Amino acid sequence: MAAASYDQLLKQVEALKMENSNLRQELEDNSNHLTKLETEASNMKEVLKQLQGSIEDEAMASSGQIDLLERLKELNLDSSNFPGVKLRSKMSLRSYGSREGSVSSRSGECSPVPMGSF
């Protein structure tokens, strides 16, 4: 009976060793996965910082464009003051293709176009 009990204990010890080995491997796998996730999170934070900087730059540029438009309105620039020049909107320039006048694709600004060019 003592021999059977000893053999049973040996089997239990072997089973525990195997389970311990499996758990250690799982722990190592989880640790590697966690390291990978931490690296990805750090990279995403860096990308977010860059995007935030870009958004802030664009906001500043837009603010400058708004200021410019407000100044132009204050100067009362209208086509009657300049009979040889007419401002074309972004949509009307697109319909004629790119000719002498140009429109900034980012800002939607208009540029002067001589009246006879269309």
Contact 115, 88 (CB under 8 A): no
Under the banding of pLDDT at 50, 70 and 90, the label for residue 83 is low
Residue 32: pLDDT over 80: yes
Query: What mean pLDDT value characterizes the chain?
Result: 78
Cα-to-chain-centroid distance, residue 60: 17
Tens digit of each residue's pLDDT (9 = 90 or more) over 46-76: 999 999 999 999 988 888 888 888 888 877 6
Residue 41: pLDDT over 80: yes
Cα-to-chain-centroid distance, residue 64: 22
Q: Which one is predicted more confidently, 2 or 102?
A: 2
Query: At residue 95, what is the residue type?
Result: S
Under the banding of pLDDT at 50, 70 and 90, the label for residue 102 is very low
Contact 99, 113 (CB under 8 A): yes
Quote the pTM value: 0.47
Residue 36: pLDDT over 70: yes
DSSP-assigned beta bridge partners for residue 112: 87
Residue 6: pLDDT over 90: yes
